[in-house]
A and B are shown apart, each in its own frame.
Chain A
Amino acid sequence: MKILYCNCTYAKVVPADVKKDVLRRLCDSGQAFDAVADLCDMSARKDAALRKIAEGGDTKIAACYPRAVKWLFHAAGTPLPSEGVDVLNMREDSAEDIAKELLA
């Protein structure tokens, strides 16, 4: 199981305290993870790293709305598999809930 964290660096739509708290819990967890500055930016660039993430088996993604994440990967030419991907929404859910799901 891989973990991907999106920092949504270039906009202020994800609550800063939620992002910070999730990142801190990840850092303290002893769990391996990939953290990207901004999934939208990577999608616009069709970054090759997205393919590695999409094709790499079961993944948990802490980012924003699942519909947005799904179509951002698709727009990059690397659609996410229909199974084995769990998108957690830091715009809506609490840091505690997100971290619990990520590290379960």
Chain B
Amino acid sequence: MSRIEGRNLRVVLYEGPGSRALDGEERFEALSTLLDNGFEVTRPMAGQDVAPADGAPMLVLGRLDEAPAADPEQEVHFRDLGEVDALEAAREVREAAGARKLEAWKPWFPVIDFDRCTNCMQCLTFCLFDVYGVDEKKQITVQNQDNCKTDCPACSRVCPEVAILFPKYGKGPINGDVVREQDVQREAMKVDISTLLGGDLYGSLRTRQREARKRFSTERDESKALLERKRCLGKLKKDLDIPDEVLMTLPSAEDIEERAARAKAKMEKRLARSQTVQDARPAPTERDWGI
């Protein structure tokens, strides 16, 4: 199970008929302790609105003289605060009800402001961790929130429209603060990847690869390559505010080669299959693909 699956236990701090009111400090302590430990808490009052039951398992806590009436369709547990500690009771019921166990994760993931997004897909192209995807309407979407690397806001830096938020980021407008004209104009917010690489992305990559082959055939020096990689990563870290942990998890040269080999094998298999059905033309060579 991923860390974002499962239902939370909902705790109801009850002080209605059939119970005694809590002391002000006791109420505050129970509430803040439960919230600090990841529980959702509702404090209902007679005649006032709260979010209705939603099918999640529920724990009713209070100084209960008798169990309050509950919907028989709803899974409800009762615990008396005169006998048990609020947090202990919540943990025990969460276990019994099979509700989601809380992990120490910071819910860090991009949130798209669709009032600003132009669906340019730069974020999807840029992210190495498969966080973004495209929905059935061909609209960019965040599909794997828990793949996102905690404290890394790099994709928001490459968004030319300042449309990507990380609500837990320290500074605006990435944290959701109002986007001002100077934010849009700021160079750091307007990194166009293809422009950075010289306009024609694929052309640049081909040229770079040809030059690299020539260079490595005459002076293959791994320590130089590692130094260059380190320098580039240092620049990325500084310019895009990427944390060390993310840089450490970037794929190694061997990983990239392995992925490329897998992708090539897949492509060849697909081509071979389509050939038997379509025609007998020879499959493209590496030269045809420019690799």
Contacts and interface: CB of A to CB of B under 8 A. Distances in A.
> Do A and B originate from a single complex?
yes
Interface of A: 1-2, 4, 7-11, 13, 20, 23-24, 26-28, 30-45, 47-49, 51-53, 56-57, 64-69, 71-72, 74-75, 91
A23 B31 CA distance: 8
B168 A13 contact: yes
Question: What 4 pairs between A and B have smallest CB-CB spacing?
Answer: A68-B176, A65-B176, A32-B48, A40-B107
B23 to A, nearest CB: 11
B40 A37 contact: yes
Interface in B131-190: 142, 145-146, 165, 167-170, 172, 175-179
Contacts of B167: 13, 39-40, 64-65, 68, 72
Contact of A10 (B100, B107, B111, B114): B107
Interface stretch (B4-12, B200-208, B220-228, B240-248): B4-12
Contacts of A42: 8, 40
Contacts of B44: 32
Interface stretch (B49-57, B77-85, B255-263): B49-57
B135 to A, nearest CB: 11
A44 B165 contact: no
Nearest to B100: A45
Given A48-B56, A68-B175, A71-B165, A35 B42 contact: yes
Nearest to B178: A67
Contacts of A2: 49-51
A34 B40 contact: yes
Query: Dominant SS at the B interface?
Result: loop
B51 A34 contact: yes
Of A26, A35, A47, which is in contact with the most chain B CB atoms at under 10 Å from its CB?
A: A35
B31 A49 contact: no
A27 B31 contact: yes
Nearest to A79: B114
A64 B176 contact: yes
B168 A24 contact: no
A28 to B, nearest CB: 6
Contacts of B142: 75
Contacts of B49: 1-2, 32, 56-57
A53 B52 CA distance: 8
B113 A67 contact: yes
A4 B51 CA distance: 9
A47 B7 CA distance: 7
A34 B50 contact: yes
A16 B129 CA distance: 32
B35 A9 contact: yes
Contacts of A32: 42-45, 48-50
Interface string B87-119: 000000000000010000111110111100000
Contacts of B114: 71, 74
Interface in B19-60: 24, 27-28, 31-32, 35-45, 48-52, 54-56
26 contacts: A1-B49, A2-B49, A2-B50, A4-B51, A7-B35, A10-B168, A11-B168, A13-B168, A13-B170, A27-B24, A28-B28, A32-B49, A35-B35, A35-B40, A37-B35, A37-B36, A38-B38, A41-B107, A49-B10, A53-B51, A64-B167, A67-B165, A68-B167, A71-B112, A72-B111, A74-B114
Given A9-B36, A65-B167, A24 B48 contact: no
A33 B35 CA distance: 13
A49 B32 contact: no
B145 A67 contact: no
A68 B31 contact: no
